[in-house]
Amino acid sequence: MAKSAGVAIGYLSERSGLAVSAIRYYETQGLMEPWRNAGGQRRFHRADIRRLSFIMIAQQFGFSLPEIRGFLKTLPGGRTPTPEDWARISTGFRDHLDARIETLQKMRDNLDGCIGCGCLSLPKCALYNPQDQAAKKGKGPRYLMGDSPETGAEPEKGA
Amino acid sequence: MAKSAGVAIGYLSERSGLAVSAIRYYETQGLMEPWRNAGGQRRFHRADIRRLSFIMIAQQFGFSLPEIRGFLKTLPGGRTPTPEDWARISTGFRDHLDARIETLQKMRDNLDGCIGCGCLSLPKCALYNPQDQAAKKGKGPRYLMGDSPETGAEPEKGA
DNA sequence: TCTTGAGCTAAAGTTAGGTTTAGAAATTAT
DNA sequence: ATAATTTCTAAACCTAACTTTAGCTCAAGA
């Protein structure tokens, strides 16, 4: 059983294509939990290649590292995940993906509805749409076409 | 004609919901081109609210500020964009959006194909897929499931 | 006129997801 | 045994898209 020794970080790097620095960074973010050998170097399970694959895949799916950490925590500690584990997690992926696709399709529909309509202003017609605003990322309110909550044409005059 | 005086940055901020600092930042990025009054303060056209709306919308569509600057440069300098201008630009949006939706749908299809298949490993079955890798963002190669270009099970031994 | 509130600039800070650098220690190859 | 790789840590640096801060100046109302 040559398993107990574990593999070095360079091996995982080579097999995954990730930079050594990225793997170390994932450890700081709680995504990997290597142990140390007598000399203080990190040692990983061979199966951690799969863990790294999972991280890369989840990133492609648009998840942040904290979210991915959440997924990984649902895996039974230390052991190689089972097909059921992956299936459970992938259902979460599916929901996330569905939501993103739906948002984009709504945006596209709005856009399609307006490209040919010849109206005064594309933003006014198709894109000033509260639904779209659900997709916004910044903090604080943003009003398309200047339609702030007051909805008035003039700013407030009073003190 | 009360138009020639222009409006102050605070007005645009209030009408758009964007922070004053964000509007100034957009100027540094070449997205807005206000002039200055006698006292050195920025003055904008009222119609620049639409310009800001456009920026916000384009950001929701996933464009970066340099890309948005590119769109805005196709607008005839300074004047309020016509319906044709918006239509032309929105066609570019449409392509971008289509591509993103397609990528996500392919990912979803792969995922769907595997959730019920009972195979050994979700990543191995559904997600080790060169097509998906087209969606990758990082620089340098990344190999899912450790399948590096050598495709061997063991790392190279020779010098 | 005086006093706020709004605006100005330049520089530094923020978040995410890392990379780069530097110098030292461990490991591997010859 | 010695040379060449790897690995280690800590801290600095990077991009994008902004925000915050500090110290002033401008503009508008009582």
The 10s digit of each residue's pLDDT in B37-76 is 999 999 999 989 888 988 988 888 788 999 999 888 887 7
d(CA A40, CA B119): 38
Alpha carbon distance A115, A88 (integer Å):
41
Q: Where are the alpha helices (DSSP H) in chain B?
A: 9-16, 20-28, 48-60, 65-73, 83-115, 122, 130-133
A111 contact partners, CB below 8 Å, separation of at least 6: A126, A127, B90, B93, B94, B97
Residues of chain B short of pLDDT 50, as ranges, are 1-3, 118-122, 124, 126-137, 150-159
In chain A, the residue whose alpha carbon lies closest to the alpha carbon of B146 is A15
* Whether the predicted pLDDT of A95 surpasses 60: yes
Nucleotides of C under 7 A from a protein CB: 6-9, 16-21, 25-30
Structural tokens at position A87: 């299936």
Q: Which nucleotide is nearest to B37 (CA to C1')?
A: D26
Please compute the mean of the pLDDT values over residues A84-88 and round it to a whole number. Answer: 74
pTM for the complete prediction? 0.76
- Structure-token pair, residue B153: 């099970």
